[in-house]
Amino acid sequence: MVELFYDKDADFAAMDGRKIAVIGYGSQGHAQAQNLHDSGLDVVVGLREGSRRWKQAEGDGLKVMTVEDAAREADIIQILMPDEIQADVYNEKIAPGLESGNALVFSHGFNIHYNQIVPPKDVDVYMVAPKSPGHLVRRTYKEGAGVPGLIAVYQDATGNAKALALAHARGVGCTRAGVIETTFREETETDLFGEQVDLCGGVASLIKTSFEVLVEAGYKPEMAYFETLHELKLIVDLIHEGGLEKMWYSVSNTAEYGGLTVGPQVINEESREAMYIALERIQNGEFAREFVLEGKTNHAVLTSMERLENEHPVEVVGKKLRAMMPWLNSELNEE
């Protein structure tokens, strides 16, 4: 049985006299920094000089410094920047200011697990990973609730790393909902697998292929869009609220029977084998090496794939149909 940690298990005393530097102010950075600050912890934001986020962070009531100064002044340095730039920023601007007994914090284990960042042995290394986009991390906190999260300890130099991780998770608001302890390896490999096979890669490919099949069979692109992409949100919302059970209960008998009989024919043993291949590439570091090299070439392949994705017919017709639904954009703006 997995143990869950709540507010009662996390003591802010572990943070007494310690300053937290949140490096980066994007989706997770802005949310976690504000939540930590509102929890009464001593927080500073580290950004590069000239960053467009600088005034935003100051406007949110936070002290802002350069990355170098923030890392040098803080005792706990939380790196919340894109995976592909973390190692360079760490080596150039964070590592020189580290002192024995400091702590490095991550919300994704990629750079530690794949040895892109190799911390000194005399600092704590732990993870606090909210299982939610940043806007929900912030919104639920302001509402007096929180999102579930993960903690992990990679290196316990002081003997206090787990206590720090729990206190940190409480400051972010995760212990209000419940926190699970994991490892850097488990978090990294399962996260990458989910992104590639299911949540992002698999879903996008399923949408595009099913759209193509309907259009090639002579159906209107607009009809294909509604049935293969637009209505997906209705199904995902049901699954999110109550699992597959609620989804099957909520749809028609026709949809349930057709889905249960045909789904396994589409996502079949060949699909399962492709998933295992993807998992092996994640486990053996092949994907990480490829992704790091992609970053070194200024994302040449990714830029090309993004262009092709944007030109796909499901996107072309989708832009026209979404223009008929102005509430979609208003929902995004509210977030």
Sheet containing 124-130: give its strands across.
4-5, 179-181, 149-155, 124-130, 103-106, 76-79, 19-23, 42-47, 63-66
pLDDT at 1 over 80: no
Comparing C-alpha atoms, which of 189, 174, 15 is closest to residue 112?
Answer: 189
pLDDT reported for residue 2:
85
What are the tokens at 69? Answer: 């100064």
Q: Which residues are catalytic?
A: 108
Comparing C-alpha atoms, which of 88, 92, 82, 78 is closest to residue 45?
Answer: 78
Greater model confidence, 326 or 67:
67
pLDDT band at 331, cuts 50/70/90? very low
Contact, 151 vs 6, CB < 8 A? no
Comparing C-alpha atoms, which of 220, 151, 208 is closest to residue 4?
Answer: 151
pLDDT reported for residue 117:
98
φ and ψ at 189, to 5 degrees? -70, -40
Provide the 8-state DSSP code for 148.
-
Contact, 67 vs 93, CB < 8 A? yes
- pLDDT tens-digit readout, 138-147: 999 999 999 9
pLDDT band at 84, cuts 50/70/90? very high
Q: In which region does residue 130 sit, left (phi positive, over 0), alpha (psi from -120 to 50) or beta (all else)?
A: beta
pLDDT band at 316, cuts 50/70/90? very high
pLDDT reported for residue 328:
85
pLDDT at 82 over 50: yes
pLDDT reported for residue 214:
98
User: For the chain, what percent of residues have pLDDT higher than 70?
Assistant: 98
- Whether the model clears a pTM of 0.95, i.e. scores above it, the answer is no
pLDDT at 179 over 70: yes
- Rounded CA gap, 169 and 4, in Å? 12
- Rounded CA gap, 59 and 48, in Å? 17
pLDDT reported for residue 332:
43
Give the bridge partners for 78, in sequence order: 22, 105
pLDDT at 333 over 70: no
Lowest-pLDDT range, 108-122, 245-259, 318-332?
A: 318-332
pLDDT at 79 over 90: yes
pLDDT reported for residue 327:
85
- pLDDT tens-digit readout, 277-312: 999 999 999 999 999 999 999 999 999 999 999 999
pLDDT band at 92, cuts 50/70/90? very high
- pLDDT tens-digit readout, 259-281: 999 999 999 999 999 999 999 99
Q: How many CB atoms lie within 10 A of CB 101?
A: 13
Q: How many CB atoms lie within 10 A of CB 205?
A: 11
pLDDT band at 330, cuts 50/70/90? low
pLDDT band at 334, cuts 50/70/90? very low
